[in-house]
Structure 1
């Protein structure tokens, strides 16, 4: 079967003049995308990169990400996408840990000097031999200056004389295509080593899950960072596999996203729950937005990356007339493992059923014993074409996470009588209060039904006698005046005595990752 790069080559051969990438007025056809990726592949071969070598990429959502990504794959190398928010020390760690031999780094901005941090990390990594700066203008000079020992070239300069044709290096299904680093919430980040078949088959799942059809190409709004597994597979790779059109937005801002959705007639929106919350907030603040046209264009709304609050789900369906399809996965599963069923009535709060070729089950968190009782809560385990090889150069961590092809996710879930799964919470986020297990998501769902609450994050804080106490960090609705005492009293009436928060803190914003996940570890 085709490797990941050949998905692009096949689509480019079939639909050469169809738009592939859009960024403002810039339009890139499939033929142009394939030609530019071929130049990158030729550059890598010319610099001595061999099949199987690792090549790192730090880039925001601009066409260059996709061009370099597929250029690396064409050359038979493995892509190591890095979060653009990493600092130099963290970049050096990732370059060294992944054994990256070359590094492509976006120029950045004064507010986010990606190239400065990238080059500083590169200098600290002797094993990484080549540094290329990606500039939006191919003729522009590099914003960072190298040294004779550690030179810098811009991508535009480096590919200027490279041929625009390149036939992908043949790879085996089990060869590594991408190494995705986990967030490192429980220690140093680990690289999930993903095969070509992992990434390829996960992209092709879009035919079943989203009813994608090359004869009726979709327009995707790519607001999820492409360096993240969700953005790569569900937007970029799935769109390319089926001849879709990716409208790129380098930084999510709800008002800008809505305008682009209107201008470009976006049919597919994929985001994390906080993005949906932001879209609803923008609609509430600006009644002049043409919601009817917005909703009329939209065919599918997709949510993943974290649990979608039930109230956000209901409000979005009410405003847009589109049911959000919830999915579930992790970097280690390429990432998609489960999704709602297209065309079926929604089961709000469910992540759906395993996608084609995937098995899921629930395990005792303390062992590998399966939990089979109805509605029993256990740790979700996954097996199928999407599961990683393992953690790169970490056999012990791999052995702990994988057994007989089954991957332990660390997420607690339950399964209903029809086989639909529901995530209860992260096993590591569970709060143990006075001997009772409290799942933060359940408390958050209740808090979001209060008319004065816009967004909430629930965490456990140390307590001298209870072990942990429940704390809610809350953003009020615009104009709301609910007080700490009022919200605690209201919550006490809505939940069991061991569940409701005794501590409430009101804030203007919650700390989030680049993908829009709430960073609970930064709350206290």
Structure 2
């Protein structure tokens, strides 16, 4: 992969705007935003931020919807060297208070739609610059002069605190430098082979690193963004056709959600060449590529490093690929020793350039130390490697359950249930057992219009799973709590079994094969 230049994000935008001011960077609700217009609006937002008393190094929370204003603010903060603190717009109450307490922004730019959630925090709230309201100070940026000061950011200065995904615990603020935020887009360009003339359907939440990386990659690679307000499974392919997208991005449960939409005669009538992202097992890979006629590109990345640290370019179904040239990957046992060939081990990553390694957690030295083993970053994710060096994701290390003396990877069980036609999404958790260790509780979200009895679902899986992996409890759920990457937040799922369907009470016994 190409080496990174020393040109910062702010310098990159200024250069592209000078050389190609009329090129379309992004479309949104019919508006065509050129590179020149993007640069002008970013500079106006920079003036507004300065007028609010903010300076280089200040932490600024961002709680905005998917809208070009969000993009202008992201680039303005990077240009000024202010530290962006992204805030999931769906947070409220204790999780929102925790994030603000941990990352301590000195100011927040927030949409008026989130006023109630923020003002409920009362004394814990810093200065708020409101957008879209009676006192919408942010909306006034369009009347500001352009800030003409040169970008003052150095490549390895921290300009963002990216919340970790928080699927099993409270999120932590990951330190991100300008260099880090440009390396992720370079990985996207390597994986997608995108360039001028290409169009990315841009549905990603901008409070997550993947959305920001795509926005920066468009500047680097010269492709165009077709920005949507939100992801819609039912309207996805209509959006693809309307915007003439050539690339689509997937995360978490996105592909299964699209596959479980009713088949249409025009499923292959589109211009998409490549579907790229993370979290696509082999069965979904085959089904999606076969139905929609696209090439699949899979990678693996994490909040603590960059968007992708591996890439599957050669098309091995289900594989997350091999390490990009920035990194080396080892698979380790619990004692830190390498696992045997073909065995599962924790993904441990060494950055060949320390400036692209794990830079640490904000004000959290304990978590910082726990994530390191020498110059390795311990991901908490499991994988195995085949004889050709291809890596295959195998779930979260902390998502291992122990039942009747046997270790069980939740991912192994979930991947089987996800294949049932009636099932949209599933999540397996451990619940207390009278025998100690865990009993297995399965949460199931059914496809729209589908129905199935718990006993029927358990009988279906019993021929596909060993007896000790067959869940005892089944609870149907209307919607799962999600991270911005569409990963289910298991920590928010109830461990109570009161009133929950129980295989033992129903007289079901899994057969030992």
TM-score normalised to structure 1 length: 0.86
Cross-structure match for 1:376: 343
Counterpart for residue 222 of structure 1: 202
For residues 404 and 7 of structure 1, the distance between their equivalents in structure 2, rounded to whole angstroms, comes to: 34
Q: Which residue of 2 aligns with 1:301?
A: 275
Other-structure match for 2:267: 291
Aligned equivalents of 1:181, 1:320: Cα separation in 2? 34
* Separation of aligned partners in 1, 2:460 and 2:234: 33
Structure-2 residue corresponding to 1:124: 123
Q: 1:512 to 1:54 in 2, by over 3 A?
A: closer
Structure-2 change in CA distance of 1:120 and 1:17 (3 Å): farther
1:86-97 to 2 correspondence within 5 Å?
A: 86-87=91-92, 90-97=95-102
In structure 2, list runs of 5 or more residues that go unmatched: 1-5, 496-513
> 1:99 Cα deviation (Å)?
3.6
Partner in structure 2 of residue 84 of structure 1: 89
**Which range is displaced more, 185-194 or 355-364?**
185-194
Which residue, 311, 315, 331 being the options, matches 2:303?
331
Q: How many residues align?
A: 486
Distance 1:492 1:256 in 2: 35
Q: 1:331 to 1:27 in 2, by over 3 A?
A: same
Whole-angstrom distance in 2 between the partners of 1:44 and 1:83: 21
Q: Deviations over 1:91-121 (max 9, x none)?
A: 444344334222111232xxxxx13323554
Q: Distance in 2 between matches of 1:481 and 1:89?
A: 35
Task: Give the Cα–Cα distance (whole angstroms) in 1 for the partners of residues 102 and 418 of structure 2.
Answer: 41
Distance 1:77 1:189, change over 3 A: same
Normalising to structure 2: TM-score of the pair? 0.88
Partner of 1:495: 465
SS at match of 1:61: coil
The aligned counterpart of 2:284 is 312
- Which residue in the other structure is 2:332 paired with? 363
Q: Map 1:24-173 to 2 at 5 A.
A: 24-87=29-92, 90-108=95-113, 114-121=114-121, 124-125=123-124, 128=126, 130-135=127-132, 141-142=134-135, 153-157=136-140, 159-173=141-155
Find the residue that maps to 2:248 and give its secondary structure.
Answer: strand
* Distance in 1 (alpha carbons) for counterparts of 2:436 and 2:46: 59
Cα distance in 2 between the residues matched to 1:13 and 1:120: 45
From the superposition, tell whether residues 168 and 333 of structure 1 become closer, same or farther in structure 2 (CA, over 3 Å): farther
1:245 alignment partner, one of 210, 221, 224? 224
Rounded Cα–Cα distance in structure 2 between residues aligned with 1:91 and 1:491: 39
**Residues 97 and 270 of structure 1, relative CA distance in 2, 3 Å threshold:** same
Q: What SS does structure 2 have at the residue aligned with 1:339? A: strand
Q: 1:13, CA displacement in angstroms?
A: 2.3
Contact 1:198 1:388 in 2 (8 A): no
Aligned partners of 1:39 and 1:162 also within 8 Å? yes
Structure 1, residues 280-316: CA drift from partner, whole Å, max 9, x if none?
23343xx36x32322xx11221232xx3344332221
CA distance in structure 2 between the partners assigned to 1:358 and 1:16 by the alignment: 35
| Contact 1:41/1:166 (8 A) holds in 2 | no
Q: What is the CA–CA distance in structure 2 between the aligned matches of 1:299 and 1:166, rounded to whole Å? A: 40
Return closer, same or farther for 1:51/1:412 CA change in 2, 3 Å cut-off: same
Which whole-Å CA distance do the structure 2 matches of 1:335 and 1:490 have between them? Answer: 37
Deviations 1:404-447 (A, max 9, x none): 33211111221222222122111111111111111111122222
1:274 aligns with 2:253: yes
Q: Is the 8 A contact 2:203 2:231 kept in 1?
A: yes
Distance 1:229 1:403 in 2: 25
Instruction: Tell me by how many angstroms 1:49 deviates.
Output: 2.4
Would you say the 8 A contact 1:44–1:75 is kept in 2? no
What's the CA shift for 1:80?
Answer: 0.9
In the alignment, structure 1 segments of 5+ residues that lack a partner are 109-113, 143-152
Residues 79 and 312 of structure 1, relative CA distance in 2, 3 Å threshold: same
Alpha-carbon offset, residue 273 of structure 1: 3.3
Matching residue of 2:3: none
- C-alpha distance in 2 between matches for 1:465 and 1:370: 32
Deviation readout 1:351-401 (Å, 9 max, x if unpaired): 111123112112223x4x231420122211122254331001112221111
* Distance change in 2, residues 1:477/1:256 (3 Å): closer
Deviates more, 1:253-262 or 1:219-228: 253-262
Q: Compared with structure 1, are the counterparts of its residues 195 and 479 closer, same or farther at alpha carbon in structure 2 (3 Å cutoff)?
A: closer
User: Residue 475 and residue 100 in structure 1: after superposition, are their counterparts in 2 closer, same or farther (change >3 A)?
Assistant: closer
Instruction: Give the distance between the partners of 2:171 and 2:187, measured in 1 at CA.
Output: 28
Deviation at 1:207, TM superposition (A): 3.1
